[in-house]
Amino acid sequence: MPQATDTAGARSVEQRALARLPDLASAPRRSGLAAMAGRAFRAFWRVPSENAYAAIGLVIYALFVLTAIFADQLIHYEPLEILLNEETYQLARNLPAGSEHWLGTTYGGRDIYSQLVIGTRSALAVGITAALCVVAIGTLVGLISGYFGGWADNLLMRLADIALGIPFLPFVIVLASFLGAAQSNVVLGIALLLWPNSARVIRSQVMSLRERAFVEAARVTGAGQWRILFVHIAPNVLSLAFLYTSVAVGWAILTEASVSFLGFGPSNTVSWGYMLQDAYASQAMGRGQYNWFVPPGLCIVLVVMAGFFISRGYEEVLFPKLKG
């Protein structure tokens, strides 16, 4: 492998250029899916060490993922359990933050800290599923549209225009209220409307890849259309797809929270949006219960921001031309 990352800036231009040339006899096989996957994997780990945004974003994500996995061990009470004062048998309502209840209790006498921890699960579940759906559709449409062009391109891009012409949040609300208040319906709404953005970018990338020499080479060796598309072109847009996924996770979590907040989310699943809706409906703001409604919002900000950070960090390193 040639050393692509030059650390010693003192070396002359010629030496650097020579060092970049692969030694063909001993060079490892550089084409094919396995080699590509290996390169992608190495690039994935290289970026955080070079870019602070990517590193911070990944650390935040890792923390939330760990919280979601070990949520059962981390909670102190069942999140929907109605707590009573052990001496007076009165509802443990609106308790301030303290050692017993780290973030206090809600108007309904439930432990806020436990709700917050459990809420990580639904946030990540919705965020990641929806993002994967959005980017899978977007990538597929972008690949087909950009590679084949013609009527397929026309049809798919017109569909994209229609999807972009539907107001996003109102649509998800209407869908969730008609199909039932379930998180799968929120995911469906997000997947149906958010794919055009990634599709358009990937389409233009594919249109330029299509003209490159390696695609021509593949065609000459007799590779079929679909093989060229999925084996030779698709791996080259995966990093773009990854960028969109990290941002889409954020949009999905924001959307889920908004839908739950407006009261169209499932009422038996504790999510951050559910907590905020509960706080709003119980007039926590009037009582100044910042311990109740600030933490769920901060968690949303952190997860969504981590997605932006990751996307920004990887973009700066992998696509320096797009740097902004």
Read off the amino acid at residue 15: Q
Return phi, psi of residue 194, to 5°.
-95, -5
Token pair for 203: 């389409």
Least separation in angstroms between CB 258 and another protein: 5
Least separation in angstroms between CB 49 and another protein: 19
CA atoms of 95 and 238, how far apart (whole Å): 49
Q: Can you tell me whether residue 84 is helix, strand or coil? A: strand
With binding defined as CB under 8 A, does residue 308 bind another protein?
yes
Token pair for 225: 């259309």
Q: Are the C-beta atoms of residues 134 and 248 closer than 8 Å to each other?
A: yes
Angle CA 27–221–142, to nearest 5: 90
**The one segment of 62-70, 156-164, 228-236, 237-245 that binds another protein by CB under 8 A:** 156-164
With binding defined as CB under 8 A, does residue 201 bind another protein?
no
- Report the residue from 150, 170, 222, 320 that binds another protein according to the rule CB under 8 A: 170
With binding defined as CB under 8 A, does residue 164 bind another protein?
yes
With binding defined as CB under 8 A, does residue 310 bind another protein?
no
**The one segment of 21-29, 120-128, 146-154, 277-285 that binds another protein by CB under 8 A:** 277-285
CA atoms of 217 and 232, how far apart (whole Å): 10
Q: Can you tell me whether residue 66 is helix, strand or coil? A: helix
Q: Which 34-63 residues touch another protein, going by CB under 8 A?
A: none
Binding site for another protein (CB under 8 A): 161-162, 164-171, 173-174, 177-178, 250, 254, 257-258, 261-264, 276, 279-280, 284-286, 288, 290, 293-294, 296-297, 300-305, 307-309, 312, 323-324
